[in-house]
Amino acid sequence: MPVIRLFSPDASPGPTALEQLAADITELLGLPAGHCWVWWQRLEPGTYHRPEWRAADAPPAPVGFVVCKESYSKDQVGALLRLLQSRLSELLNVPADEIFLTVQRAVTGELLVRDEVWFAHLEEPRPNAVTDLVPIGRVHSDRSDLSDDYWGDVTSVIRLDGGRFAPEALLGLDTFSHLEVVFHFHRVAPEKIHTGARHPRGNPDWPRTGIFAQRAKNRPNRIGVSRCRLLKVDGLDVHVRGLDAVDGTPVLDLKPYLTQFGPREAVVQPEWVDELMRDYY
C-alpha cells in the first residue's frame, strides 16, 4: 500500500482532491480501493529552505515522499511517480518538472528529477507475479453493474494510459476484427475470492466445480480474459463491442485474436455451460 506525504507552504487542495489522487493511484496499481494513503502537510514560514518557493508570482510546487513495497518493479515505481506528478501538476496548476518526488522503501534510491527516474541501486527488486502488473489503460463504458448476462451489444472504449503510450503502440491493430483483452476484476473484494469448488453462479442445479474449472470472476488473482469485436481505433482509444468488463476496469494487456490460436480439435464442454452461457452475450 503506497503512503504519500506531500509538503508545501500552500494550503491543502482539500480532502476530495486527495481522495481522488489516492483512487487514481490504486487504479493504476490494480489495488483495492482504500489501499493508498495521502497526507498534505502545510509548512510554516521559517521551517523550510527551498529557493523555488520564494517566487511570489507563481504557486509553489510541492515536494513529495512516497513509501511503497520493495516488490514494486521499476516500471511500477516510474508509472506511480509520473502519475502522481501529472495529477499534482493539473490539480495545483504548477509545472510538472518542478514537482520533486522521492521513493522510500526497503531498496532505496528512486528519485524523479526533471521527468527522469534515477535508480541508485543495481539490484532488481524481487519479482512478484501480481504487483509487477501495471495496467495499460482502463475500460470506459456505460455499464457499471456487475450482472452476469447480456454483454453482446455493450460497446466500450479501452483507453490506453497516455503517460506511458503513444498511438504508435496501436499501429496496425485496426487490420484485425477481434481482440483478446486481459483485465483485472478490480471490484471483487479479497474476501469474496474462491480457492476451492463452488456451484457456478451459486446455482445448485449446476454441479460443484473447482474455481479453475469455471470462468467465475472470484478467482485467486482476479484476472479476466475476454474476446471482443474491434470496432475502430482512434488515437489511444480502442472501441470494442461485447467486452464483458464494467466501466473503470483496469486493462492489463490486449492483443489481436488470431484464428491460428483457436482450438485445432473439436471443443468439448459439459451441458451446464450451455445453460450458463445462454444469455451471456
* pLDDT tens by residue, 70-118: 677 778 888 889 899 988 988 888 888 888 888 876 444 444 444 455 5
| Cell numbers describing residue 73 | 518493479
pTM over 0.75: no
Q: What is the pLDDT of residues 223-272, one digit of tens each?
A: 999 999 999 999 999 999 999 999 999 999 999 999 999 998 999 999 99
Q: Give ∠ CA 91-92-94 in degrees, rounded to 5.
A: 120
Q: Are the C-beta atoms of 223 and 252 separated by less than 8 Å? A: yes
Whole-angstrom distance, CA of residue 92 vs CA of residue 75: 26
Q: Is 58 helix (H, G, I), strand (E, B) or coil?
A: coil
Q: Are the C-beta atoms of 228 and 181 separated by less than 8 Å? A: yes
How far CA 141 is from CA of 144, 157, 183, 238, in Å, comes to 7, 7, 14, 12
Domains of the chain: 3-118 (3.30.429.10), 137-276 (2.40.30.70)
Percent of the chain residues past pLDDT 90, beyond the cut: 44
The number of residues making up the chain comes to 281
Whole-angstrom distance, CA of residue 133 vs CA of residue 111: 21
Q: How many CA atoms lie within 13 A of 101 on its CB side?
A: 28
